[in-house]
Amino acid sequence: MRALVTRPKEDSEGVARALAQRGLEVMVEPLLDIAPVEGAAIDTAGAQGILVTSANGIRALARLYPGRELPVWAVGDASARAAREMGFSQVESADGDVDTLAELVAARVEPAAGALLHAAGTVVAGDLSGRLSALGYEVRRQILYQAVTATRLSPALLDALGAGGLDLALFFSPRTARTFATLATQAGVQGSLAAIAAYGLSANVSAELAPLPWRVLRQASEPTQAALLAAIDDDLNRGFSP
């Protein structure tokens, strides 16, 4: 069996290993290319910690900022794992979305202790800054990277779809799911999706996938990679029946 992973290349490595351990062949099709923002700089003056809403954010910050002493509050397991891999030792995950991250910060952090650095891209999901600012926190958004959307599906993926060579497809963000839906429609390969089980990380991701004619569309029980893999395990243990 063969699984399609649509994450940016660097983000796909961990989930690709996890799928391979389950005996699945993996095809990686990055639908976003992560590029640094030219001239970006980190303003750490008076900062008490770092907010991370994507693994790409903490990687970009770590490349520009040599210090590792500030605590990190991350939106989920993937971004927390990336922070630890970058050498940060004080890392806590909200295991959810920007709302749960805001709740975690409110429970752990005193607003008067200093600013919070948000390691962000040019596009962000949710209003983390607005939620925390309303609670009295200073959120200093650091624009460090941009995600460049793919403009077409690769020839290799089109060939795999045409040959019926995919059984599963994994989607981790609304943007990548929306991009895939748009590009698949433009390429006229929607009919090839009828043999594929799609897995979405959250309700927002699944909503972007729903218009396509998948064999089945699954949603993780919570927005974590572990939960998404658990949904796949459930299907594999049932003999992959819908």
Q: Is residue 134 part of a domain?
A: yes
Q: How does pLDDT run across 111-124, given as a tens digit for each residue?
A: 999 999 999 888 77
Question: Are 131 and 228 within one domain?
Answer: no
Q: What is the pLDDT of residue 35?
A: 87
Q: Is residue 209 part of a domain?
A: yes
With beta carbons less than 8 A apart as the criterion, state whether 217 and 193 touch: no
Q: Is residue 242 part of a domain?
A: no
3-state secondary structure 119-180: EEECCCCCCHHHHHHCCCCCEEEEEEEEEEECCCCCHHHHHHHHCCCCCEEEECCHHHHHHH
Strand 72-74: give its sheet, edge to edge.
32-36, 139-149, 115-121, 47-52, 72-74, 91-93
Q: What is the pLDDT of residue 52?
A: 93
Question: How many residues in the chain?
Answer: 242
Where is the domain boundary, 110, 130, 148?
148
Where is the domain boundary, 125, 148, 171?
148
Domain CATH for 112: 3.40.50.10090
Q: Is residue 167 part of a domain?
A: yes
Distances (CA, A) of 232 to 35, 92, 109, 112, 219: 31, 26, 36, 44, 10
Question: Are 80 and 164 within one domain?
Answer: no
User: What is the reported pTM?
Assistant: 0.74
Question: Are 65 and 155 within one domain?
Answer: no
Q: How does pLDDT run across 192-233, given as a tens digit for each residue?
A: 999 999 999 999 999 999 999 999 999 999 888 889 999 999
Question: Are 167 and 209 within one domain?
Answer: yes
Q: What is the pLDDT of residue 241?
A: 55
Question: Are 179 and 216 within one domain?
Answer: yes
Where is the domain boundary, 97, 115, 148?
148
The chain-wide mean pLDDT, for the chain, equals 92
Question: Are 14 and 57 within one domain?
Answer: no
User: CA-to-CA distance for 80 and 66, rounded, in angstroms?
Assistant: 18
Question: Are 10 and 38 within one domain?
Answer: no
Q: Which domain holds residue 174?
A: 2-31+150-237
With beta carbons less than 8 A apart as the criterion, state whether 42 and 64 touch: yes
Question: Are 10 and 46 within one domain?
Answer: no
Q: What is the pLDDT of residue 242?
A: 47
Q: What is the pLDDT of residue 47?
A: 95
Question: Are 96 and 166 within one domain?
Answer: no
User: CA-to-CA distance for 132 and 104, rounded, in angstroms?
Assistant: 11
Q: How does pLDDT run across 136-179, given as a tens digit for each residue?
A: 999 999 899 988 899 999 999 999 999 999 999 999 989 899 99
User: CA-to-CA distance for 158 and 175, rounded, in angstroms?
Assistant: 20
Q: How does pLDDT run across 18-32, given as a tens digit for each residue?
A: 999 999 999 999 998
Question: Are 48 and 138 within one domain?
Answer: yes
Question: Are 156 and 140 within one domain?
Answer: no
DSSP classification of residue 58: H
Extract the tokens encoding 181. Answer: 């839906």
Extract the tokens encoding 180. Answer: 């895939």
Q: Is residue 205 part of a domain?
A: yes
CA-nearest of 208, 227, 231, 205 to 218 is 231
Element housing 185 (H / E): helix 174-187
Query: Any residues with CB less than 8 A from the CB of 74 and at least 6 apart, and which?
Result: 52, 53, 58, 80, 83, 91, 92, 93, 94, 101
Q: Is residue 92 part of a domain?
A: yes
Question: Are 194 and 164 within one domain?
Answer: yes
Distances (CA, A) of 140 to 93, 136, 173, 239: 20, 13, 24, 49
How many domains does the structure of the chain reveal? 2
